Structure 1
Amino acid sequence: MTQVDTTGTGRTGPDHADTGPGPWRAGVRRAIRGCSRPEPWKRGPVLAALALLLGLLMLLHGRIPNRIGHLGSLVETFLPWFGLFVPVLLAGALWRRSLSAVTALLLPVTVWLSLFGGLLTDKSHPGGDLTVVSHNVAADNPDPAATARDLAASGADVLALEEITDQDRGTYEKELAKTYRYHTVLGTVGLWSRLPLSDTRPVDIATDYGPLAATKPAAEKLTYNRALRTTVTTRQGPLAVYVAHLGSVRVNPRVGFWTDSRDRGAQALARAVADEPTRRVVLLGDLNGTMDDRAFAGLTSQLRSAQDEAGAGFGFSWPARFPVERIDQILVRGVRPDSAWVLPATGSDHLPVAARVSW
């Protein structure tokens, strides 16, 4: 049948209707009507409640009590990973076509971004007077010589090692001697430096394994000194360097998240730093915890994290095969972190961490 042009445009009625703004307006009207209906807001109440609970959990993590099984510390240890629940809940909300759940997800998204959004950008910049590296070399490292060579090639001016065993100490000293003229080892921790060292002394962090001592393998029972303090002499003046390996943590059905040894060590280390007369301080070590954990409040109130201030990403360092936590730390006071990064894996179950600092 012949169609008549009634518009004066030379186009037939049906064709002209398909090309005009009508479909867009109709789509907007349908969306508005859909949102104004009560059904999408009533769908998925459980998903909406879970989204709100997730946001409140991250927002109020500091209020979670630690009296029962150190639950608060456990949540704070894995706090960044709670963000993974957001896409799961979002998928459920879209599947249920629940506007209430989608809206509720704004809370956990906002909280997570406020806590960790800054870590997603690269905050490093050129420069730096000193490169520092810290590495838990692992007591059961199958090739300590290769680990030492890798660390020597990292360009570190100051290198801290933790978990040095008696049988491997000579290997590290031999392999690192060509690169570092000065070094000191006290118990299971040591420091190698291109610059002179002085005033070296142990720091008593009183580590033990309490009720879980019987469950710890004999090869890992390091009962020697686990922290030291020394002075690195630089052209800009003295730099106090602490090297520490705090006690391990365990998840145990009887005691929950067991952190007693680590927490006592963190408190002792915080007291030592507070009493430190030198203005410029760097703390290197395996602290067996993240800086979101309230157990480290005494340290984080005095020292800044190089990774947080000058790194790119979360800087996860453990376990080496699939890092999920940053428990190896570089904390500073009186110096400025210019960059921070994680080095490639060695024979250890930890990754080395590095930073460039300037005065």
Structure 2
Amino acid sequence: MDWWYRGRGTRHRSPWARGRVLASLAVLTAGLLAFHSAVPNAVGRLGSLLETFLPWLGLAVPLLLVAALWCRSALALVALLLPAAVWAHLFGGLLPAGDRGAHDIMAVQHNVSDENADPAGTATALIGAAPDFVALQELTPSALPVYEKALASDYPFQAVVGTVGLWSRYPLSDVGPLDIKPEGIREDWNRGVRSTARTPWGDIAVYVAHLPSVRIRASGFSTGWRDESALLLGEAIAAEKLDRMILLGDLNSTVDDRGLAPVTSRMDSAGRAFAFSWPAAFPVSRIDHVMARSAAVTRVRTLPATGSDHLPIAVGIRLER
């Protein structure tokens, strides 16, 4: 009967004495949210893995809340205010549409998938958003002519290198490959293109990039090639001579992930705005991005699903005067 007395004693303890483990978990959750950059990447790239899904850490709050109410722990309930406040500070303001004002340019970014069975329908869906730029990744030799035909009337100017492409309402010049290939990847790997768009606001350098994929393995989060490619992309951005820039791409990373820091430190984006783009069936992360320099990203939103495993994103950009 010892267990009965121990359980009875626990139930009759003060609400401020119960739930110490729950309170500790609440404080830990708040610490991970607030100081995620302090989580080391040395073992299994755990820091990057946490940052990739950082908003979802907030789910710990309602789960701990239910547990705290069940065991009637005032201590745990008070402790839960800490992770709730940190999550609200980081992400709470993004629950409404993240519109930061009027825009001059609308851009659409979409990894169309090399297994997309309806490229014509995908192109039509993207045109419906009335963007000025359309950036596509995972273009295949068989699908490329379909996209070219479907987009030609609305976007007469294009820049395609390897498996990535840009379609534009404005004339494009200085089209060339963007070297973001990490060492060890085969020679025919081409996932970057740079061009100059001649717009009513002046020349704008427009980059389209598709960084290498990441994998979750038994050894941890594999991001080596992605991180190396992000570093090369960041160096290209730093060396770009035109002041105004727009970057569109599947960067296989979120803006919270330190692996993308060489890029995010040099560009304006919608920050931690939601609009999760992957996977299309149940989006949990936004790895598709439109970023700008000497300009401000005013809004990011997802578009309806196409035949891809990614959702398209549409972004408004306001140019600095």
- Cα distance in 1 for partners of 2:271, 2:45 equals 26
Aligned to 1:249: 214
Aligned to 1:358: 318
- Cα distance in 2 for partners of 1:56, 1:87 equals 17
- Residue 71 of structure 2, aligned match among 96, 100, 116: 96
Q: CA RMSD in A?
A: 1.8
CA contact (8 A) 1:208 1:247 kept: no
Q: Does 1:231 align with 2:199?
A: no
Q: Does 1:105 align with 2:80?
A: yes
- After superposition, residues 1-359 of structure 1 pair within 5 angstroms as 39-124=14-99, 127-207=102-182, 223-253=188-218, 255-306=219-270, 308=272, 314-359=274-319
- Secondary structure of the residue aligned to 1:150 is helix
**1:204: how far off?**
1.2
Please, which runs of 5 or more residues in structure 2 have no aligned partner? 1-11
Give the partner amino acid of 1:345: A
**1:315: how far off?**
0.9
After superposition, the Cα gap between the structure-2 partners of 1:208 and 1:350, relative to the gap in structure 1 and judged at 3 Å, is farther
Write 1 or 2 for the structure with the bigger share of helix.
1
**Higher Rg of the two aligned structures:** 1
CA contact (8 A) 1:306 1:332 kept: no
CA contact (8 A) 2:195 2:206 kept: yes
Give the partner amino acid of 2:119: P
- Cα distance in 2 for partners of 1:338, 1:144 equals 29
- Cα distance in 1 for partners of 2:83, 2:130 equals 41
CA contact (8 A) 2:97 2:299 kept: no
CA contact (8 A) 1:188 1:222 kept: no
What TM-score, normalized by structure 2, do the two folds share?
0.91
Give the partner amino acid of 1:331: M
User: What are the superposed Cα offsets for residues 284-341 of structure 1, whole Å, 9 maximum, x if unpaired?
Assistant: 0000010000111111111111365xxxx51100011111000000111111233321
Runs of 4+ in 1 over 4 A off after TM superposition: 207-210
- Cα distance in 2 for partners of 1:156, 1:132 equals 5
Q: Percent identity?
A: 50
Please, which runs of 5 or more residues in structure 1 have no aligned partner? 1-36, 211-220
Q: How many equivalent residue pairs?
A: 308
